[in-house]
Structure 1
Amino acid sequence: MKILSLLFCCTLFYCCHSDVQKKPTPLKNSIEEIVKQIGNPHLSTTFINLTDYGAVGDSLIDNKPAFDKAMQACQEKGGGRIIVPAGVYLINGPIHMVDNSCIDLQKGAKLVFGTHAEDYLPVVPTSWEGTLLYNYSPLIYAYKVKNVAIIGEGTIDGNGKDGFSQWYDKQKPAQRKTREMNHQDTPVEERIFGSGYFLRPQLIQFYQCQNILVEGVTIANSPFWCVHFLKSENIIARKVKFNAFNKNNDGFDPEYSKNILIEDIDFNNADDNVAIKAGRDHEGRKIGISSANIVIRNCRFKGLHGVAIGSEMSAGVENVYVENCAASGYCKRGIYLKSNPDRGGFIRNIHIDNVRFGEVEDALFITSYYHGEGKGYATDIHNIFVSNFYCKRASNAGLAIQGFPTKKVRDIHFSNTKIDSCKTAISLSHTENIVFNDVIIGEEIKVPSAVK
């Protein structure tokens, strides 16, 4: 194991049982308080069979009209659970959910979305990489609704590989334009994208929604982010399985959202498993709605990064609890907190407990200088608590923390942390009050050898 020398611009404490640097104890009831506040979803007891509205699961007939009629029936009845029997249902266009609606995918049911971009017009209010705008409709879209659910043992296939994902190499001009509009404070109603701009839509988006449940389903082949919770609250995601390998196929992206429980998930994503966000740059700071009170527990990570915070997090992220999770396959990075000096905002009160990884590139990485760019708005990163953390091997860094010269990353507490092997054990720059309590990186040193 090679250990690089610590950079001089940090203050480091190694502690075993120090009263002075003792790790603060988080509130014992914090997780259960969040879960209690979310409550249990209330699913409609009015059952609506999709086939009664003309749906045919033969993979050929367009079932968009059937879904539209079923959603209209939900609205007229004050709510409904749309039962989708076994079969393969082609859908040429988006599903727009309404208040008190539930899509219940029975075992063997599969929704496959069409690949013609014009079917996802007209544009709708949404966001793209942290900037609010109008774009193609997400494939399943819930806007300003309450009590919505997607449940069952079936599969949602975004058909991204043969459709929108092919736009990845064409998106740069529109991507730059979204960021310019953000920095220039262009009114949102003037940020019209859609046709000709090549910004891929999310597979599932809940925007300004309350009381959300996503449970049991398999999510695959997304055109962009898989499940985006935007300005929403009281959310449960449970027992979901991901098989999403296209560009930017994050699993769950909570943004400007709070009171969220993500549990018992089988991730298998080409990007972040969970990516917690809170808006980009000027707009994020202006909106000022932090993402908060998020519990991630009993999950199996596999993909790019297990849990990421950022990089779009300008309104701040706080009160995040990750517990009892483990990697079920390769992850590039285990825990990744990332921001840069364009963002501002804060990342604070993050608790990582009983989390295990196998082989990674970096076990835990915190950076205030993501991509080495940005100026003027350094992020305040502090109060990060890591306990009972294990990694078998990190090909690059065990623990890497990079602050910013004018705003150090501070008050980071490690306890009962073990990394069996890595290239660089610890790399700290522009940090302050980094506390180690029972930390072993490399082979544990036990009884000293006797004098010969």
Structure 2
Amino acid sequence: MNIRLFLILSFTTFAFAQNNQFPTAKVDSIVNAIQLPKFPSFQINVVKLGAKGDSISNSKPFFDKAMALCKKNNGGTIVVPKGVYFLKGPVHFTSNVNLKLEKGAKIKFSDTPEDYLPMVLTSWEGTMLYNYSPLIYAYDCTNIALTGEGTIDGEGGRTWKSFKAQEGKGKELSREMNHDNVPLKDRKFGTGYFLRPQMIQFFNCKNILVENVRIENSPFWCLHLLKSESITIRGISYKSLNYNNDGIDPEYAKNVLIENVTFNNGDDNVAIKAGRDHEGRAHTATPSENIVVRNCNFKGLHGVVIGSEMSAGVQNVFVENCKTVGYLKRGIYLKTNADRGGFIKNVFVRNIQLDEVEDCLYITANYHGEGKGFQSEISNVSFSDITCNKASASGIVIEGFADKKIKNISLNNIEIKSAKNAISSTNAENVILNEVFIGEKATIPSAAK
């Protein structure tokens, strides 16, 4: 067990200790500021337009026609009844539209990459660029929703899955363009670069609702909330176990509520991001902020993650009343490195039940040991009322830099029943522990023999 904790009893420490209670009033104010979308009364059923739920016929033209009719009527609801609807290409939203998948309905997307051309403006691992269209894509829209008890199937397990081994060239080029400030119009990828599209992306949108639908088999990230605000994600479920199948990725996002979600995906459940490296640091006016995650069931790689692409900053994140329904590698994971810059601050996590993990709570400023020159600021993080049955590696890890220490970390009422390593804390200031138990609780000392 490696323990190096810096417990400094100063006024600032005392103030943080006294004021790090979970800020329920702040959470309430964020939730109250989020607006649900509103829609005109117009409705159109895709079957009445000619779509066939036979899993074979191409229904994309009829979904496109439904969207065009909604636009003509200033919005409305597109109803998808029971059946399996095969789409050779993406769904592109317009404003004021609710795409409603009734119980027993499934949208099954083609896995032919050419079906997602022409390219659209999007983002890939924190860098803005032109690439294949996300399968469901909304750009610059207001009042949009994806609702109902149906399923969205991205068919990501074959062709798209094969892209993973071939993405290196495109990935490295995108990062070079980011670092070199290449004009956005020249960042064109698509065919030959093997950068997989997101399943669902809302980009520069406002007043968004995703409710009750099931997400399966995504090519890449499942639900990407990019430069959007006033967002409600609730009651959805997952079975998406391909490479990089993050569940929900808020990026440069503001005022987000994620609740009552049942995760089962092949990467992070919730991954809060804010751009990468030079490009992200140029957008510090739009950090990801005011994000509430509550009453969720975690299953996948990690539960809630901040980073590692967070260069514009992440602040005011509130996670509460969540539990695992299976193994996680890490429960709560804050990660950045010396390429990123930016900040992570004002993170409050409480009432989390974890079963078996590799690491329970992990904060690192040196993710993958990469980068130089742009160390991030990590401060004001509170963990309380957290239980974990077993950590096969470490219970609690905090890793800062000697010249950029992690500051103001509060750990209150933490119980980890078993851990190979209890606590590893390096280059941290004002780390406060209260009622922290790792391993068996000590009781009354035994008497001398």
TM band (smaller chain)? over 0.9
Amino acid at match of 1:233: E
Q: Report the equivalent of 1:160.
A: 156
Q: Report the equivalent of 2:212.
A: 216
Match of 2:193 among 194, 197, 201: 197
Distance 1:391 1:335 in 2: 12
1:143-182 pair list within 5 angstroms: 143-182=139-178
Q: CA deviation at 1:70?
A: 0.3
Distance 1:432 1:196 in 2: 48
Q: Report the equivalent of 2:331.
A: 334
Q: Report the equivalent of 2:370.
A: 373
| 1:259-294 deviation line (CA, Å, top 9, x unaligned) | 000000000011000000000000000122100000
Q: Report the equivalent of 1:402.
A: 399
2:271, 2:305 within 8 Å by CA — same for their partners in 1? Answer: yes
Out of 58-67 and 162-171, give the one that drifted further.
162-171
Distance 1:14 1:54 in 2: 71
- Does 1:282 pair with 2:278? yes
Q: CA deviation at 1:19?
A: 5.5
Distance 2:398 2:361 in 1: 8
Q: Report the equivalent of 1:344.
A: 341
**If the length of structure 2 is used for normalisation, what is the TM-score?**
0.97
Q: Report the equivalent of 2:114.
A: 118
Distance 1:377 1:19 in 2: 30
Distance 2:321 2:69 in 1: 42
- Does 1:305 pair with 2:316? no
* Unaligned stretches of 5+ residues in structure 2: none
2:36, 2:208 within 8 Å by CA — same for their partners in 1? Answer: no
Kindly report the root-mean-square deviation, in angstroms, between the aligned alpha carbons of the 2 structures. 1.4
- Does 1:256 pair with 2:252? yes
1:370-449 pair list within 5 angstroms: 370-449=367-446
> Hey, which bits of structure 1, 4+ residues long, moved more than 3 A?
12-15, 18-21, 25-28
Pair 126,151 (structure 1): closer, same or farther in 2 beyond 3 Å: same
| 1:389-416 deviation line (CA, Å, top 9, x unaligned) | 1111000000001002221111000111
Distance 1:426 1:44 in 2: 55
Match of 2:7 among 12, 27, 50: 12
Q: CA deviation at 1:185?
A: 0.3
* 3-state DSSP of counterpart to 1:214: strand
Q: CA deviation at 1:11?
A: 1.6
Distance 2:224 2:15 in 1: 42
1:43, 1:149 within 8 Å by CA — same for their partners in 2? Answer: no
Q: CA deviation at 1:162?
A: 1.9
1:126, 1:133 within 8 Å by CA — same for their partners in 2? Answer: yes
**Identical-residue share of aligned pairs (%):** 53
Match of 2:42 among 46, 52, 59: 46
1:264-279 pair list within 5 angstroms: 264-279=260-275
**If the length of structure 1 is used for normalisation, what is the TM-score?**
0.96
Amino acid at match of 2:372: K
2:318, 2:348 within 8 Å by CA — same for their partners in 1? Answer: yes
Pair 77,96 (structure 1): closer, same or farther in 2 beyond 3 Å: same
| 1:63-121 deviation line (CA, Å, top 9, x unaligned) | 11011100000100010110000000000000000000111000000011001111100
1:378, 1:406 within 8 Å by CA — same for their partners in 2? Answer: no
Distance 2:209 2:445 in 1: 55
- Does 1:31 pair with 2:34? no
Q: CA deviation at 1:14?
A: 9.8
Q: Report the equivalent of 1:102.
A: 98
Distance 1:208 1:20 in 2: 38
Out of 295-304 and 24-33, give the one that drifted further.
24-33
Q: Report the equivalent of 1:55.
A: 51
- Does 1:207 pair with 2:203? yes
Distance 2:223 2:185 in 1: 24
Distance 1:21 1:269 in 2: 36
Distance 2:162 2:250 in 1: 25
Amino acid at match of 2:104: G
* 3-state DSSP of counterpart to 2:201: strand
Amino acid at match of 2:33: Q
Amino acid at match of 2:75: G
> What is the aligned length?
445
* Unaligned stretches of 5+ residues in structure 1: none
1:69-84 pair list within 5 angstroms: 69-84=65-80
Amino acid at match of 1:88: V
1:13, 1:436 within 8 Å by CA — same for their partners in 2? Answer: no
Distance 1:171 1:43 in 2: 40
Distance 2:392 2:90 in 1: 42
1:23, 1:413 within 8 Å by CA — same for their partners in 2? Answer: no
Distance 1:202 1:358 in 2: 30
| 1:299-337 deviation line (CA, Å, top 9, x unaligned) | 000000000000000000000000000001111100000
1:14, 1:437 within 8 Å by CA — same for their partners in 2? Answer: no
Distance 1:298 1:13 in 2: 35
| 1:11-60 deviation line (CA, Å, top 9, x unaligned) | 23699xx9577342454401110000003332342211011211000000
